[in-house]
Amino acid sequence: MAERSFEVVKPGLATTVQDLGRPGYYHLGLPLSGAMDRFALIAANRLVGNPDGAAGLEAVFLGPELRFSADALVAITGAELPPKLDGVEQPLWTAFKVAAGQVLSFAFLKGGARAYIAINGGVDVPEVLGSRSTYALGALGGFEGRALKAGDVVPLGAPTTAGGEGKTLPPDGRRPAQESGVEIRVLPGLYWHRITEEAQAGFFEDTWKVAPEADRIGYRFRGGKKLDFVPRQQPFGAGSDPSNIVDSCYPYGSIQVPGGTEPIVLHRDAVSGGGYFMIGTVISADMDLIGQLQPHQPVRFQSVTLEDALTARAVETARLARLGELI
Amino acid sequence: MQTRYSFGGDEHIFVEVDEEMSLEAFFKSLSMTTAVREAGIAGVTEICPANASFQIKFDPDVIAPQALMDQLKGFEAAAEAAEKTIETRIIEIPVLYDDPWTRETLMRFRERHQDPDATDLEYAARVNNYPDVASFIAAHAASPWFVSMVGFVAGLPFTYQLVERDKQIEVPKYLRPRTDTPRLTIGHGGCFGCIYSVRGAGGYQMFGVTPMPIYDPAGKISYLKELMIFRPGDILKFRPIEREEYDATVAAIEAGTFVPKIVPVPFSLDAFTADPAGTNAKLLEALNG
């Protein structure tokens, strides 16, 4: 048994080990993986004195229950999933001490979708292709290539810094989950020309709701009008449905609409390609936001230019840079 | 062939070499992605060739999107003129056609299929004008197939049948995708074949299974130390087997004694276009000795 570890008493809904991902293998069908809300994982790591890319846990909707074998420093960020230590509530976005034998659990979710649990020293599962992230569809990385189960004993690395208890990120430095009025910015493109002008306008005018089929691979939306296609003779090899294309790569954040009915935004565990047309791509600055959306939550898509996307990206870079000053 | 460039958000450039599938489009896409790799452009993080298109992922904090797009466009003329020849390999894939596992799965999802009263094989044989399933399987297993893309999920090859276009097998995808497909299913949708590397969702028609894993996340299977076997440009050949050989192969893989049949071969698109049957005969001769 590892010197430092925690035991999974209850696994939560789909708690996985994630770091900042596994770039470089998308051409072989292996997606980036890693935290869906990267900002939240980085903030949690900074709070406990870990490097940004240390592996933590991503808990979705329902928190796990973990018993620690050794003293540790822990911080929870992202979704509003209030942590409890031996039943006593602890603050979010703040490093707190856990003593050997104590149990970390969570109250019910109050906002957002994914909480990040950073532990000093990081989760020390073996690196696979340069990352500890779990890619569950390919049974790769993380803890045995899967979400945690009750009884798992998960190893922790040795802490590199001492102290840090009580470190907190002030509220104005956080990015809290939004309850309403969520707008996701999209750069139209890819196969945007395949739908009519009316459908193009309707996509951005309609309010969409997150469908229950929303996971690390992609988020599905419903409730908007069906998109009409510009008529064409289907190209050889594409397949007969007007939403079919000759199978191509799928960008992260790309929005495919099979049959023209329910848009799917691909996320960190994206399928790397396939035969459905895409109308555009969610800008990099808004990918984290999607990871915090709950089923049934209403959202609107907003059309932006490439310049807008780069400006938004700079805002996110500045937010990250500010973490250094605030923590 | 008209090449189209588009930004996929602020981190991707998507290049559609042609709207329709052809080996000419694949080779142009492959030449362009090779040129990008060899140029070693700072800020390019992923280079993903696909059937008739490709995608570049980049860091816009390192290279301006428009500058990268201009650079990509600069590779186009040379790619078009490049020699369409590769040094590749032919890999034999044993297949148990009409196996019990895909049959059980396709029965479970019958209401999502165009023809709920037929199996996928019966349907595919009919819409491709074969008199029966046996002659359809014979055609599927007769010619080599070209791996024109790897992706969707880990290590999954998209395969393109090396015959004249009017002889290529074409089938629609399921009306609605299945939520389950057995691991190592031999599938087909549009003009593309595939081998499902993992169990999961899928929309392709299902014809059989191979006992030979093509992806091993644990890296324990002797020929899968690099986790997966296929690269774009590989050529594969299906060989029909019976249940007995299927079971024996599964056992050999578990025992670590199975060695896949892989032979290096050159492939020239011009030679194939001029004489498909003759080129295929040479490929099969290389494989079967």
**Which DSSP category does B110 fall into?**
G
For residues A249-268, average pLDDT: 96
Q: Which residues of chain A are within 8 Å of residue B16 when distances are taken between CB atoms? A: 248
- B51/B161 same-domain check: no
Q: Which residues of chain B are within 8 Å of residue A289 when distances are taken between CB atoms? A: none
B149 at the A interface (CB within 8 A)?
Answer: yes
Q: Among the three residues B82, B109, B143, which one is the final residue of a domain in this structure? A: B82
pLDDT at A160 over 90: no
What is the per-residue pLDDT for A164?
86
Inter-CA distances, B15 with A131, B51, B63, B75, B76, Å: 29, 11, 18, 12, 11
User: pLDDT grade, residue A194 (50/70/90)?
Assistant: very high
A237 at the B interface (CB within 8 A)?
Answer: yes
- B60/B141 same-domain check: no
Distance (Å) from the alpha carbon of A263 to chain B's nearest alpha carbon:
15
- B42/B110 same-domain check: no
Asked if B253 and B108 touch (Cβ cutoff 8 Å), the reply is: no
Distance (Å) from the alpha carbon of A204 to chain B's nearest alpha carbon:
16
- B131/B208 same-domain check: yes
What is the per-residue pLDDT for B137?
98
pLDDT at A1 over 70: no
Angle at A290 between CA B155 and CA B179, to 5 degrees: 45
Location of each CATH 2.40.100.10 domain in chain A:
182-323
B57 at the A interface (CB within 8 A)?
Answer: yes
B48 at the A interface (CB within 8 A)?
Answer: yes
What residues have CB less than 8 Å from A163, skipping those under 6 apart?
none
Partner residue facing B9 (CB), from A138, A239, A251: A251
Would you tell me how many other CB atoms lie within 10 Å of the CB of residue B77? 9
A28 at the B interface (CB within 8 A)?
Answer: yes
What's the whole-number average pLDDT of chain A? Answer: 95
Domain that holds residue B73: 4-82
pLDDT at A234 over 90: yes
Partner residue facing B55 (CB), from A189, A251, A284: A251
Partner residue facing A275 (CB), from B154, B190, B215: B190
- B66/B97 same-domain check: no
If you compute the radius of gyration of chain B from its CA atoms, what whole number of angstroms results? 20
Partner residue facing B48 (CB), from A26, A236, A254: A26
Measured distance CA(B246)–CA(B16) in Å, rounded? 40
- B78/B125 same-domain check: no
Q: Return the SS3 of B190.
A: strand
Inter-CA distances, A2 with A100, A146, A163, A270, B125, Å: 14, 20, 22, 33, 57
B24 at the A interface (CB within 8 A)?
Answer: no
Q: How many helices (H) and strands (E) does chain B have?
A: 9, 12
Rounded to a whole number of angstroms, the distance between the first and last alpha carbons of chain A is: 33
Closest residue by Cα to residue B186 from B167, B219, B161: B161
Q: Which of 3.40.50.300, 2.40.100.10, 3.60.20.10, 3.40.1010.10 would CATH assign to domain A182-323?
A: 2.40.100.10
Helical residues (DSSP H) of chain B, grouped into ranges: 23-39, 65-74, 76-81, 100-108, 120-127, 133-142, 243-255, 269-274, 276-288
- Amino acid making up residue B105: T
Asked if A319 and A174 touch (Cβ cutoff 8 Å), the reply is: no
Which domain CATH number covers B55? Answer: 3.30.1360.40
Name the burial class of residue A201, with classes exposed (0-12), middle (13-18) and buried (19+) by CB atoms within 10 angstroms of its CB: exposed
Residue-wise pLDDT tens digits, A296-317 = 999 999 999 999 999 999 999 9
Residue-wise pLDDT tens digits, A85-100 = 999 999 999 999 999 9
CB contact under 8 A, A27 and B6: no
Distance (Å) from the alpha carbon of A107 to chain B's nearest alpha carbon:
33
- Which residues of A, range 156-195, sit inside 8 Å of B by Cβ? 187, 189-190, 192
Per the structure, how many domains does chain B have? 2
CB contact under 8 A, B55 and A248: yes
- B251/B166 same-domain check: yes
Q: Which residues of chain A are within 8 Å of residue B127 when distances are taken between CB atoms? A: none
Whether this model's ipTM surpasses 0.85 comes out as yes
Return the residue of B nearest to A258 by Cα.
B176
Which run of H or E residues covers position A279?
Answer: strand A278-282
Q: Return the SS3 of A206.
A: coil
- B128/B198 same-domain check: yes
Partner residue facing B7 (CB), from A135, A137, A189: A189
Per residue, what are the HEC states of A18-39?
Answer: ECCCCCCCHHHCCCCCCCCCHH
CB contact under 8 A, B10 and A238: no
Residues in a beta bridge with B137? none
Buried b (16+ CB within 10 A) or exposed e, A89-123: ebebbbbbbbeeebbbbbeebeebbbbbbbbbbbb
What is the per-residue pLDDT for A3?
82
Return the residue of B nearest to A250 by Cα.
B55
Distance (Å) from the alpha carbon of A35 to chain B's nearest alpha carbon:
18
Residue-wise pLDDT tens digits, A103-126 = 999 999 999 999 999 999 999 999
The CA-based dihedral angle spanning residues A153, A158, A160, A164, taken in that order and rounded to the nearest 10 degrees: 50
Asked if A108 and A12 touch (Cβ cutoff 8 Å), the reply is: no
CB contact under 8 A, B14 and A251: yes
Distance (Å) from the alpha carbon of B183 to chain A's nearest alpha carbon:
11
Measured distance CA(B143)–CA(B279) in Å, rounded? 10
Give me B84's structure tokens: 């369409």
Asked if A73 and A88 touch (Cβ cutoff 8 Å), the reply is: no
Asked if B210 and B237 touch (Cβ cutoff 8 Å), the reply is: no
Which one of B1, B2, B5, B12 makes the best mutation probe of the A interface by having the most chain A beta carbons within 10 Å? B12
- B139/B190 same-domain check: yes
Q: How far is CA B244 from the centre of its chain?
A: 27
Q: Which residues of chain B are within 8 Å of residue A257 when distances are taken between CB atoms? A: none
- B146/B217 same-domain check: yes
What residues have CB less than 8 Å from A2, skipping those under 6 apart?
A124, A153, A155, A156
- B231/B101 same-domain check: yes
Asked if B193 and B186 touch (Cβ cutoff 8 Å), the reply is: yes
Backbone torsion region of residue A190, taken as left when φ is above 0, otherwise alpha when ψ lies between -120 and 50, otherwise beta = left
Q: Return the SS3 of A140.
A: strand
- B40/B152 same-domain check: no
Inter-CA distances, A109 with A105, A114, A180, B85, B152, Å: 12, 9, 16, 58, 33
Closest residue by Cα to residue A264 from A208, A225, A308, A310: A208
Partner residue facing B46 (CB), from A27, A190, A271: A27
pLDDT along chain B (289 residues), means of 10: 95 97 95 96 97 98 98 94 94 98 96 93 97 98 97 95 95 88 96 96 95 95 92 96 98 96 97 97 95
What residues have CB less than 8 Å from A124, skipping those under 6 apart?
A2, A55, A155, A156, A157
What is the per-residue pLDDT for A2?
55
Distance (Å) from the alpha carbon of B244 to chain A's nearest alpha carbon:
29
CB contact under 8 A, A237 and B61: no
Inter-CA distances, A125 with A17, A23, A48, A78, B135, Å: 8, 18, 18, 22, 51
Which domain CATH number covers B265? Answer: 2.40.100.10
Q: Among the three residues B37, B63, B82, which one is the final residue of a domain in this structure? A: B82
Distance (Å) from the alpha carbon of B114 to chain A's nearest alpha carbon:
12
Sign of CA dihedral B34, B35, B36, B37: positive
Which run of H or E residues covers position B117?
Answer: none
- Which residues of A, range 243-282, sit inside 8 Å of B by Cβ? 244-249, 251-254, 258, 271-275, 278, 280-282
